[in-house]
Amino acid sequence: MHRIYLLLSSFLFATLSSLTAQTPNILFIFTDDHAPHAIGAYNGFLKSVNPTPNIDQLAAEGMLFEKSFCTNSICGPSRAVIMSGKHSHKNGFMNNGNAFDWDQQIFPKILQKKGYQTALYGKSHLKGKPQGFDDWKVLPGQGDYYNPFLITPEGRVQVQGYCTDIVTDAAVNWLTSDRDPEKPFMLMVQHKAPHRCWMPAMRHLHLYDDITIPEPSTLFDDWKDNAPPARHQELEIDRHMDLNYDLFVDLTPEFNQQPSQKRQDRSAWNNMKRMSAGQLKAWRAAYGPKDEAFHQAKLTGKDLVRWKYQRYAKNYLRCIKGVDEGIGRLRGTLTELGLDENTIVIYSSDQGFYIGDHGWYDKRWMYEESLKMPFVIKWPGTTIPGSRSTHMIQNLDYAQTFLDMANAPIPKDMQGRSLVPLLKGRNPDDWRTSIYYHYYEYPSVHMIPRHNGIRTARYKLMNFYRFGDEWELYDLENDPEDLSNLYGKPGYDAITTDLKKQLQGLVEKYEDDSIQDEKPEQWKKDMRTPWASARTNLNS
């Protein structure tokens, strides 16, 4: 009997060792503008509406990173950092007007050499034809929510349906039919949602109709304690969120009213023009009665802002619901194919987003809500279920992490660090104690000035170097929402001096010479741009 026990034990050990030794598959699910506080597992103010049960389940089975940050809070640059493992100034994609150099070193090419089969479906936003992938279907530019065009190796095609579902369908089809079962895979599923203009699937048009979405505590922030840039922007729900083009009030394909601002996103209107008759009928049936009730209410002041916030937040969360359902489908497919025990599943987004926080929408700033990005991962047999890490990580680390997971070589000129030791539960003594940030896209949409900065576990120092050399300093331990600017206040000279020294150290470490290439005379010209006065209509 004892001999049988030993034989069974040896067999089980050998089987488990064989499974552990297998090269893992990697499923990387990536969205656009999904703020961590719109994920239940991150325990933000939106948790009560249960927006993401499938992402929450992934977190319960894996590891969630509480201090995950981007390097440059805007769509294309964030993706370029992930592909290259290098900061924006090194990979050449600093703002959305750039085009990514696909000939450069990127992690999918290295995985291919290691024997991985690679595929990319959804939003690329890097321009040009993707390299490093055995199969790909990507949206042109931002792409459309309804009946979108896709660029494929064979050319441009239009697919009927809702974009999130179409991207998920492509990934599921590849897993079930087109994948080489003899090779490990790296599958990147990159959704457009929940990017502006936040247009949900038809099945979700009435989701949240019967509830009031919680408001952020800073919805009516007046930015009195910030440096001037916070008061001279164009991303307020109050002044800059257009009732028609952003919130769909009375919007039809025939709509021809001028928008309320110069740099207006008209993607919702363009989407409506490509809707089928059935889609358009369902859309107007859902929004028509709500629009009529809005007109009858004749809201002004804070009541109008609150109405706009509710319409915006519900549409944003409806888009996220479609993504979350797609995650459930993908994970179900892995289980059906017997791949779930050897597939690492990761959920992330290109940056955070303002969901009414500070009265804003969009991203770009180094303030917490757009600086933070979600990172949730399940690595069967490696990550401890339900674990949470407080180590500081960035999208700069993803490329090295993927390569390390695959036991592939990591180029020395990549600037991040593999997260594998953290995923294995280790606590490296030399892990980073600060992160570096640099935003470039100015003057441009939303008019957020260029700035760089450092964030440590406790403090954040920001420099708006193209706006009169303005600075901001925050004590995140006592002020987690960046409300009290301590720069220049009595008692903070030593902390400021030390942080400036650390910031310069990061500039030198990452070899960021982009600021010295700027022209001060251009800064002064940009600063003469006429600004609308900050909030004037919230007295009622």
pLDDT tens-place string over residues 342-372: 999 999 999 999 999 999 999 999 999 999 9
Please say if the pLDDT value at position 403 is more than 60.
Answer: yes
**Model confidence pLDDT, tens digit, residues 451-504:** 999 999 999 999 999 877 899 999 999 999 999 999 999 999 999 999 999 999
pLDDT band at 529, cuts 50/70/90? very low
Coil vs helix vs strand at 451: strand
Please say if the pLDDT value at position 216 is more than 70.
Answer: yes
pLDDT score recorded for residue 1: 43
Q: What is the pTM of this model?
A: 0.93
CATH number of the structural domain 438-527? 3.30.1120.10
Cis omega (within 30 of 0) for bond into 194: yes
Please say if the pLDDT value at position 422 is more than 50.
Answer: yes
Please say if the pLDDT value at position 402 is more than 60.
Answer: yes
pLDDT band at 396, cuts 50/70/90? very high
Give the rounded percent of residues in the chain with a pLDDT score beyond 70: 91
Tokens representing 368 are: 């917490």
pLDDT score recorded for residue 537: 40
Instruction: Give residues with Cβ within 8 angstroms of 126, minimum separation 6.
Output: 76, 79, 80, 83, 93, 99, 100, 102
pLDDT score recorded for residue 13: 33
pLDDT score recorded for residue 536: 41
**Model confidence pLDDT, tens digit, residues 1-26:** 444 433 433 333 333 333 334 799 99
pLDDT score recorded for residue 7: 41
pLDDT score recorded for residue 525: 54
pLDDT score recorded for residue 62: 98
The residue with greater pLDDT, 17 or 54, is 54
Other Cβ atoms within 10 Å of 292 Cβ, number: 12
The residue with greater pLDDT, 290 or 516, is 290
Question: Mean pLDDT for the chain?
Answer: 92
CATH number for 23-184+320-434 (one of 3.40.720.10, 3.30.360.10, 3.20.20.80, 3.30.565.10): it is 3.40.720.10
Q: What is the mean pLDDT of residues 170-197?
A: 98
Alpha-carbon separation of residue 13 from 9, 16, 17, 23, 24 (angstroms): 6, 5, 6, 18, 19
DSSP state of 175: I
Tell me the one-letter amino acid at 483.
L
pLDDT band at 540, cuts 50/70/90? very low
**Model confidence pLDDT, tens digit, residues 366-382:** 999 999 999 999 999 99
Q: What is the mean pLDDT of residues 309-323?
A: 98
Tokens representing 224 are: 């009195």
Domain assignments of the chain as residue spans, ordered by start? 23-184+320-434, 202-310, 438-527
pLDDT score recorded for residue 20: 39
The residue with greater pLDDT, 469 or 49, is 49
pLDDT score recorded for residue 469: 86
Please say if the pLDDT value at position 309 is more than 70.
Answer: yes
Q: Which of 362, 364, 339 is nearest to 439 (CA)?
A: 364
DSSP state of 156: E
pLDDT score recorded for residue 519: 55
Tokens representing 31 are: 């969205």
Q: Which of 119, 121, 123, 122 is nearest to 132 (CA)?
A: 119
CA distance 33 to 113: 32
Instruction: Give residues with Cβ within 8 angstroms of 10, minimum separation 6.
Output: none
**Model confidence pLDDT, tens digit, residues 94-119:** 999 999 999 999 999 999 999 999 99
